[in-house]
Amino acid sequence: MALKIKPLSDRVVVEPQAAETKTASGIYIPDSAKEKPQQGKVVAVGKGKKDHDMTVKVGDVVLYGKYSGSELKLDGKDYLIMREDDILAII
């Protein structure tokens, strides 16, 4: 959360939350079979733009469409950077 990145405009940096690696019956799923995560934690928020005030805050857990955003590697960890409009909901 002490990420030193400043997203521009109405962009948000999201840390995808780890997908389940075990099925209900306890079988481990190999990496390539895991579903791409669609849930993540907001770690950085832009300042918005003239016609768009930001709603999400750092720490919010959000849902976003598969394939939303660009992948980003910071300090060896994977993040997604997307426009706030790609975020569906806060949970």
**Tokens linked to 46:** 């832009």
Contact window for a copy of itself (CB under 8 A) among 15-23, 25-33, 49-57:
49-57
Q: Does 14 engage in binding with a copy of itself (CB under 8 A)?
A: no
Q: Quick one: 78 or 85, whose CB is closer to a copy of itself? A: 85
CB of 79 to a copy of itself, least distance (A): 10
Q: Quick one: 41 or 55, whose CB is closer to a copy of itself? A: 55
20-47 residues labelled b (16+ CB within 10 A) or e (exposed):
eeeeeeeeeeeeeeeeebbebbbbbbbe
Q: Which residues contact 20 (CB under 8 A, 6 or more apart)?
A: 29, 34
Q: Does 4 engage in binding with a copy of itself (CB under 8 A)?
A: yes
